[in-house]
Each structure stands twice: as structure tokens, then as C-alpha cells.
Amino acid sequence: MRKNIQIIGSGFSSMAAACYLAQAGHQVTVYEKNSTVGGRARQLKRDGFTFDIGPTWYWMPDIFERFFADFGKKPTDYYSLKKLAPAYSVYFSDGAQVTISDSLEEIARTFETIESGSGVKLKKFIESARENYNIAIGDLVYRPGQSFTELITWETFKKFGLFLKNISSEMRKQFKNEKLIRILEFPVLFLGAKPSDTPYFYNFMNYADFGLGTWHPENGMYGVVQAMEKLARELGVQFECNSKVSEIVVENNQVVGLVVNGNFVASDVVLSGADYHHTETLLPENNRQFSENYWDKKTFAPSSLLFYVGFDKKIKNVEHHTLFFDADFDAHASAIYDRPEWPEDPMFYASFPSITDAHVAPEGCEAAIFLIPLAPGLEDSEQMREHYFNLLLDRLEINTQQSLKKHVMFKESFGINDFKEQYNSYKGNAYGLANTLLQTAFLRPGLKSKKINQLYFTGQLTVPGPGVPPALISGKLAAGLIQKN
């Protein structure tokens, strides 16, 4: 039966769900509070520069291919892709820069130059990670997280012990050099938890890194947003921007509609891709599944302080993606997860998209995006942002051996307060709930409300978890549940 379905938010998960639901013949309208679609994956343009505001990494290309294939399409029908070679580089505190190639063979040779015997170990490790990837991405993550039994397969039974071990300890059993360990721990940071709190099974992220490689879509990650919007419109989805949802209207424990910009809109089904906690505040208190205490006790992935900077010169000694691990990894992780506070000496990530895409910066200039992971819920001020921007530039100059401060044309920042204001993000988190053992699959907030009929959720606070590829999967899973009911 054709249903009138309203979707709150237009991030990756919402747009994915909208495509599947429209393909099934439903009438689908997406409401976005901001002026453009994309949720956190919006775009900033200024003075001839173009920046991705949100995600900048294109990993797991197979998941994007699988999504578009569900509609008889390919990603390349909408945008071109370039595999980055090298994938990224990493700076360490001793000034060393380790470059990660786009080839496992070359990466193994790099490892060997740092730690004798580690190249062979790396290949064996990545083969194990590939097996886990095929189990996780080929099957498990496409299950809706409604019961423990979804995780019980012959393959997961054989791998059960990996869920009881953690990334940090297992890496150290195989590799001794701290630089190599940090590089191998890096991909799980996308899952939003410390390596010591992340089950070893999640080493499949290392296969996503070294096995599948790092890619760059034409027009950045916003190019993917534009592709999904185009596909959705081709399928008949309607988008309404500048549309703030202030209430989910419920009668007799059944969704009947939304209040959008002060007006009632009737709905047969409501799907929210907005922040899960925020979505429940749109309901009467007795219709909410989770208390404030529940959310406060959850382990959240980090928030971020981001800077979008235009330089009037090209920057030397960096790659498109460059990681600065020239600080105490454990101290920064502790400032995020153990004793939430502003880190004294943070690690940070830098993206220079103009290295790959000339059109994102004027000729002879460099577009730069900087990200410092932070604990959600910290006090955010312009003074703190300025302090960390100067600290970041100091370290950038030292590591890359060049003067840069005088070449800054402009900078814009985006922090905890912005995540709260623009995305209604709980405590200003940037990546959702961390994928710890006790926050995996059926232990995450569900895709379907247990209290309200025809109310569903999608996105990074629900199944399967944080990241762009999981968001595409989350949208598919939510749409599948709606179809079944």
C-alpha cells in the first residue's frame, strides 16, 4: 500500500532511506532545517575556495557501489572517483613522516623499513582483516539490530573470541614499533572509541584502509550528496529545505504527522535521520524510549573543532590527507573519553583537497581543512578556538618546515556549539555513538520505536553506527523495516 512518509533531516542515511522508500512506490518528503541538503555533509564556498564542511574521507567504495546498484546505477553515473596515491601520510613527534601508499605491497615495504619482519606480519594481519570485513560488511551490518540472534552465524561463532579482545592489546602482540601501531589503530578512530575499548573483530577497518584504499569523489563528499539527491528526485522524492520540525504528533500511540514551520503535516510514517536524542524531545515525554540518564551514560564518539582555511600559497610536504600524531596519543584519548576536557596538546587531521581537485582553490592557493577531535559537551568559545588554531598552525609550520601564518587569507571555524545549533546534536557530538562492545548491533538504540507505531530512526546514533558507509546501510535497514510493517 502506498504510504505518505515524512523524513526528518537530509543526511546520508535519510537520503538513502528516501531512495529505497520512493523506489517501493511510497510518497516521500524530506524536511531539512538548513538551507541545503546533506545534513553534516554540506559545503562551504568562500572567495573562490570550496570546502566539505563534514566528512572528507571516501572509504569502503564497495558500499557506495552496492547502494547505487540497488537502483540499477553506478557511482560513476553521477561522479568520477580518483584513488589517492599515496592514500595519506602521518607525522610523528620525532619529525618522521610515514607515507601510506595505495598498494599493500608498498605499505608492507614501508613497514619493513621501520620494523624488521613487520611487512610479512602486516600481510598476514590484513588477510585476517579481509576475512572479518567480508563477514561484517558482506552480511552482519545489513541486519537491522533487532535481536542478539542476528549476530549468531557459523562465521561469527568461529570469530567469537575476537569480540572479547581489543584492538590495542592485539596490535601490540603483533607489532612492536609505536609508529606502526598508531597507524594501524588509526582506522578504528572512525568507529568513535579508543582502540583499547574497540573489539578486535573491528580490525576489518584496516582492510578498508590498506586493502580497499582511499578515494576522492569529484566535488568532494558533497558530490556524493548531490548524486544521492539527484537519484532521490529521479525516484520522486520531494525535498523541503528551511523546514524546521518542532513536533512529532502522536495519537493513541500512533504517529499521525509532524509540525513543520508551525504547520501540521499529516503522515502515515515518520522516519527521523536527525539526532536520535533530539528526535525524542519532539515527542511527549511519556512516548520517549530513553531517559536523559540513559543518554548521559552512553559512550559517544568525539565531537570536533574544525577550521576551513584559505592559503595564498601551495603548502609543501603534505598529502591530500595528512595526520599529525606528533603529540601524546593516549593523553589526547584520555581527554576525550576518560576525563572530558580540552586537550593540552592535541593530535589533529588535515585535508588539502586542492592537491587533488584544482577547482576547489584559486590558482596558486591551497584549501585546507583541519580537525581536532574533542570530547562532546565541552564549553566552546571563540577564545578557545583561536588558541587551538594558533597551536595547530605552529605545529604545521614546524612539521612541514615552512612559514604559513602570514599566508592565511581567511579561516572559518565549526565547533561544538555549531554541532548543537545546526544539527541538534546531543552534547555537540560529531560522529554519534561509539562502537564499543556494549554499543554494537542490538545494543544500540533501535531503528524502530518501541513505544510509537510507525515511528522509525536512522543514522549514526542507531544501527549500524558512525561513518558515511554505515549511514547508507542504516537508511536501507530503516526503509526495509518500514516496508515490512
Q: How confident is the model over 377-397, as pLDDT tens digits?
A: 999 999 999 999 999 999 999
Identify which has the larger pLDDT, 176 or 199.
Answer: 176
Predicted confidence at residue 72, as pLDDT, reads 98
Percent of the chain surpassing pLDDT 90: 85
User: Cis omega before residue 284 (within 30°)?
Assistant: no
Report the alpha-carbon angle 389-390-392, nearest 5: 65
What global pTM score does this model have?
Answer: 0.96
Rounded to whole angstroms, how far apart are CA atoms 226 and 277? Answer: 27
How many other C-beta atoms can be found within 10 angstroms of the C-beta atom of residue 398?
12
Interval 87-99 mean pLDDT:
96
Rounded to whole angstroms, how far apart are CA atoms 179 and 181? Answer: 5
Interval 220-242 mean pLDDT:
98
CB 258 within 8 A of CB 245: yes
pLDDT digits (tens, 9 = 90+) for 345-384: 999 999 999 999 999 999 999 999 999 999 999 999 999 9
Residues in Cβ contact with 271 at an 8 Å cutoff, skipping those fewer than 6 apart = 5, 6, 7, 8, 14, 17, 21, 456, 457, 458, 478, 479, 482
Interval 19-26 mean pLDDT:
98
Rounded to whole angstroms, how far apart are CA atoms 13 and 39? Answer: 9
Q: 264-290: buried (b, 16+ CB within 10 Å) or exposed (e) per residue?
A: ebebbbbbbbbbbbbbbebbeeebbbe
pLDDT reading at 416 higher than 90: yes
- Taking 3-state DSSP, the helix, strand and coil percentages for the chain, each rounded to the nearest 5, stand at 45, 20, 35
Residue 100 Ramachandran class (φ > 0 left, ψ -120 to 50 alpha, else beta) = beta
Interval 116-127 mean pLDDT:
97
Distance set, CA 313 to CA 93, 182, 366, 402, 408 (Å)? 26, 31, 6, 11, 9
pLDDT class of 485 with cuts at 50, 70, 90 = confident
Interval 174-193 mean pLDDT:
87
Predicted confidence at residue 383, as pLDDT, reads 97
Strands (E), 228-302: 238-240, 245-251, 254-260, 263-266, 269-272
Interval 238-246 mean pLDDT:
98
pLDDT class of 137 with cuts at 50, 70, 90 = confident
pLDDT digits (tens, 9 = 90+) for 213-225: 999 999 999 999 9
Interval 135-146 mean pLDDT:
78
Predicted confidence at residue 139, as pLDDT, reads 78
- How many residues are given for the chain? 485
Predicted confidence at residue 117, as pLDDT, reads 98
Predicted confidence at residue 154, as pLDDT, reads 43
Predicted confidence at residue 145, as pLDDT, reads 63
Predicted confidence at residue 152, as pLDDT, reads 56
Predicted confidence at residue 159, as pLDDT, reads 62
Residue from 271, 227, 259, 294 nearest 438 by CA:
294
How many other C-beta atoms can be found within 10 angstroms of the C-beta atom of residue 397?
13
Q: 223-259: buried (b, 16+ CB within 10 Å) or exposed (e) per residue?
A: bbbbbbbebbeebebebeeebebeebbbeeeebbbbe
pLDDT class of 474 with cuts at 50, 70, 90 = very high
How many other C-beta atoms can be found within 10 angstroms of the C-beta atom of residue 381?
12
Identify which has the larger pLDDT, 401 or 155.
Answer: 401
Residue 374 Ramachandran class (φ > 0 left, ψ -120 to 50 alpha, else beta) = beta
Average pLDDT, the chain: 94
pLDDT class of 437 with cuts at 50, 70, 90 = confident
Predicted confidence at residue 265, as pLDDT, reads 98
pLDDT class of 144 with cuts at 50, 70, 90 = confident
Interval 7-17 mean pLDDT:
98
Q: What grid cell was written down for 311?
A: 592559503
